[in-house]
Amino acid sequence: MNTNSGTAHAGGPRVDCTADTDGRIAFALEAPSIDARLLLRLRPKKGQPEKVLHTLDLELAEDGRHRAVLEPLPLPLLAEGRWDMYLVPEPGAPRQRLRPGLRDLRTLVSGHRHDRPSPVAVRIPYVTKDGHLAVRAWLRTAHAEVEGIDVTDRTMTVRARLHGATLAEGAAVRLRLRGGGGVVRRLEPLVTGDDGRGFSFTVEYGELAAEDAGNRVWDLSVQAGSGEGAAPIRIGRLLDDIADRKEIFVFPEAVVGNAVVRPYYTVDNDLSVLADRT
Amino acid sequence: MKISFLLHNAYGIGGTITTTFNLAQALAERHEVEIVSALRHREHPNFTLDPRVALTPLVDLRHEKEHPLHLRPARVFPAAEYRHRQYSELTDQRIGEALATTDADVVIGTRPGLNVHLALQAPDHVVRIGQEHLTLDNHSPRLRTALRRAYRRLDALTTVTEADAASYRRKMRLPGVRVEALPNSVPDPALPPADGTAKIVVAAGRLVPVKRYDLLIEAFAPVAAAHPDWQLRIYGKGEEQDRLRQLIQRLGLCDNAFLMGAASPMEAEWVKGSIGATAANFEPFGMTIVEAMRCGLPVVSTDCPYGPGEIIKDGIDGRLVPVGDREAMSAALLELVRDDERRRRMGRTALENARRFGPVPVVEQAERLIEEVTAGRSAARERGSIQHALVSQGFAARDAAYVAASGALRVVRRGRR
């Protein structure tokens, strides 16, 4: 466990945060002075140097604490990834990891109910495995939000809705084999509703298992229009308060032939299907 | 005044720890307060403790697990206590020393075995208050017999419900011991209350069989079928996790019912919901019910012994349904899901009615108890009526007979091996 030593309280100062309906996130804490800053650092890949930082100024709040606001559209937009949060007590001083206080994210819960324009930017403050505060960010040109998955013993039917794009003639759902050198299966989505955003599709598990033994992971996306230029839009579930969905939204397995197949959400909350042939 | 709490393990998670921290912190406004933790297994407590409250661990399991004395069974801590196996000659010794040398005016025990330590080992000048967070009826006859002897040496015994206090008065002969219900307190919420618009039912607690989350999930199935935009979120960890997950999958509730894992603090999770729920078979108090109500949620609960019925006013600030009755639980949930206005009204009433469990009223009662017990200590020892003695002696005899009989049974079983 990683605990910060040298601070008065175990593991560093605590910060409360509140998300509002416009996508703004306000942080409140007791900072040593108004010259302190909050620092967000995009967590680099293992072994890579950190490159991307974002700082937030503090202002004095009515309750005597300090407040910093992450606006809905901070420029540049927060890149997709995990942003660890720090307090820089004064200019030039060493930064301290922040610990979570109360995270009032109630406004995020029904975030899927309103349509998002492009680019789709999502931020969810969350608690890291070692007990610190971080912000999970997604930034996508467009996004397909899963609204529900019905599984049977040989199929799954996904209901989803596009944000930042609309479906056009020739739209296709793509299942791309991870590490499969471009192996792709295509399905025609069923358009639901009349605004060109809702769609559903059914995946036959039988087509996903490998001929030989081994795991196969299929990543799901949708091409909103026809033609080579239509970029695949990843299908996932991002628009609520849950930063790590993998262990919470768990779907039943189906046994198809010699393979065990189930849909799951990845560590990035994207939808994939695992076909495990033993 | 210096007040000392004797707690099993301040570094764990649980209702007794939460409520002890709450009470200790509230008392620290006007008194010197410490928490003595019999055990410790990690660096920091899970719940943040007000720095004004001193925390003193006695046995540190990170270094002392293999201590020769810790490998020998406890003799002061009663063998019939639920947690006897976590105690040892080492805890006997350390707790004994801590009590013998305490500079506190009042020591408050927080579970049966620690109350026994307190009763037997605290110096005469120390006021001894035992707290029972479980219930008398749930204790084994063997434990009741051990407590019946030791608890006579307490100045006061607090239970968390009136029903349990009545049980102690009726079934235990504790002359001169003041027995009183002192409910758990829940801190004033820092967040604005829920506004009743969210389509989420929230439950929280350890995932263990007695909490009947299986029943809650089954009861939620008709709600999800009729109102697919509603969710059930269950917070907590425990042995039932896998079984509950399978149940959710079997009922086709993967997009409606969720095992969320543990959350601390729960406050930010309660306010995401608009109904609280518990289907427990047994709830000595019902801490999560009060927490939910203090966040503005009406709670649908089973009317199990003893807590829920003393917290919820059925139909006014929540709903009480019979224990184990899936249809009744389902109907009560549906009624609140369907009627937005009723749900919001009950939520507002819950918020108001649960104020009595705030730290201020509860700590006032605790302080009054401490002061009265301190003042009237010697006089109290002479109370007790013959009638009461006769009735409680009947219960004592029954427990003793049961203990003797089960002892004999064990001898017989052993003989058969």
**Same domain membership, residue B234 and residue B288:** yes
Q: Kindly state whether residue B417 falls inside one of the protein's structural domains.
A: no
**Tally of residues, chain A:** 278
Contact flag B255-A103 (C-beta cutoff 8 Å): no
Predicted confidence pLDDT, tens digits, chain B (417 residues): 999 999 999 999 888 898 899 899 989 999 999 999 999 999 999 888 999 999 999 999 999 999 999 999 999 999 999 999 999 999 999 999 999 999 999 999 999 999 999 999 999 999 999 999 999 999 999 999 999 999 999 999 999 999 999 999 999 989 889 999 999 988 899 999 999 999 999 999 999 999 999 999 999 999 999 999 999 999 999 999 999 999 999 999 999 999 999 998 899 999 999 999 999 999 999 999 999 999 999 999 999 999 999 999 999 999 999 999 999 999 999 999 999 999 999 999 999 999 999 989 999 999 999 999 998 775 544 444 444 555 667 777 777 777 777 655 555 554 444
Query: Cβ of A3 and B48 within 8 Å?
Result: no
Is the residue at B324 inside a domain? Answer: yes
Distances (CA, A) of B133 to B137, B166, B299, B310: 12, 14, 21, 15
pLDDT at B388: 54
Contact A10 B43 (CB under 8 A): yes
| Predicted pLDDT of residue B416 | 47
Q: Which domain holds residue A30?
A: 14-140
3-state DSSP of A236-258: ECCCCCCCCCCCCCCCCCEEECC
**Which among A241, A251, A250, A245 has a CA at the least distance from the CA of A269?**
A245
- In the block, tokens 């397909």 appear at A144
Nearest-Cα distance to chain B for A25, in Å, is 15
Residues A110 and A153 placed together within one structural domain of the fold: no
Given a contact cutoff of 8 angstroms between Cβ atoms, the answer to whether A125 and A147 are in contact is no
Return the closest-CA partner of residue B279 out of B313, B234, B311, B242.
B234
pLDDT > 90? residue A151: yes
Residue B189 DSSP label: P
Nearest CA in chain B to A147: B255
Structure tokens at A72: 């809905």
Domain co-membership, B97 together with B145 = yes
Contacts of residue B139, defined as CB under 8 A and 6 or more positions apart, other chains included, come to B112, B147
Q: Are residues B326 and B282 in the same domain?
A: yes
B234 and B169, same domain (yes or no): no
Residue type at B18 in one-letter notation:
T
Does this complex have an ipTM over 0.85?
A: yes
Q: How would residue A50 be classed by pLDDT, with cut points 50, 70 and 90?
A: confident
3-state SS, residue B97: helix
Q: Give residue A178's pLDDT.
A: 93
Question: What pLDDT is attached to residue A8?
Answer: 34
Beta carbons within 10 angstroms of residue A47's beta carbon: 5
Of A102, A150, A151, the CB nearest to B267: A102
Please check whether residue A50 is in contact with residue A42, taking contact to mean a CB–CB distance below 8 angstroms: yes
Domain count, chain A: 2
Query: Please, is B177 exposed, middle or buried when counting C-beta atoms within 10 Å of its C-beta (0-12, 13-18, 19+)?
Result: buried
Q: Does residue A69 lie within any of the structural domains?
A: yes
Domain of residue B246, CATH code: 3.40.50.2000
A230-246 per-position pLDDT tens digit: 899 999 999 999 999 99
pLDDT at A5: 30
| pTM summary value | 0.88
Tokens (6 digits) for B29:
């406004």
Beta bridge partners of A159: A148, A200
Specify the pLDDT at position B15.
80
Q: Is B272's CB within 8 Å of A249's CB? A: no
The confidence score (pLDDT) of residue A21 equals 85
Whether residue B367 lies within 8 A of chain A, CB to CB, comes out as no
* A263, A187: one domain: yes
Please state, rounded to an integer, the average pLDDT across all residues of chain A: 90
DSSP B193-239: PP-S---EEEEES---GGG-HHHHHHHHHHHHHH-TT-EEEEEB-ST
Query: What's the gap in Å between the CA of B348 and the closest CA on chain A?
Result: 18
Interface test with B, best of A2, A99, A104, A106 (most B CBs within 10 A): A106
Top-confidence residue, A243 or A5: A243
pLDDT-based confidence at residue A9 (cuts at 50, 70, 90) = very low
| First-last CA distance in chain A | 35
Residue B411 contacts A where some CB pair is shorter than 8 Å: no
Q: Bridge-partner residues for A151, per DSSP?
A: A156
Which residues in chain A are contacts of B265 at CB distance < 8 A? 102
What Å distances lie between residue B413 and B343, B399, B405, B407, B408, CA to CA?
Answer: 56, 21, 12, 10, 9
Cβ–Cβ of A110/B194 closer than 8 Å?
A: no
H-type helices in chain A, by residue range? none
Residue type at position B338: R
Shared-domain flag, residues B40 and B171 = yes
State mean pLDDT over A92-109. Answer: 95
- Interchain contact, B249 vs A11, CB within 8 Å: no
Between chains, do A250 and B254 touch, taking CB under 8 Å as contact? Answer: yes
Which residue shows structure tokens 């009136």? B162
Angle at A84 (CA atoms; ends A79, A90), nearest 5 degrees: 110
Cα–Cα distances in angstroms (integers) from residue A231 to residues A77, A173, B232, in the given order: 21, 11, 36
Interface of B with A in 174-203 (CB under 8 A): 190-191, 194, 198-200
CB B76 within 8 A of CB B69: no
Q: What is the DSSP pairing of strand A214-223 with strand A198-204?
A: unpaired
pLDDT value, residue B94? 98
B20's tokens: 């002890």
Residue pairs spanning A and B at CB distance below 8 A? 52
CB B288 within 8 A of CB B203: yes
User: Domain check: are A79 and A135 in the same one?
Assistant: yes
Please state, for a pLDDT cut of 90, what percent of chain A lies above it.
72
Question: Do B353 and B205 share a structural domain?
Answer: yes
Q: Which residues of B touch A250 (CB under 8 A)?
A: 245, 249, 254
Q: Tell me whether residue A245 is in a domain.
A: yes
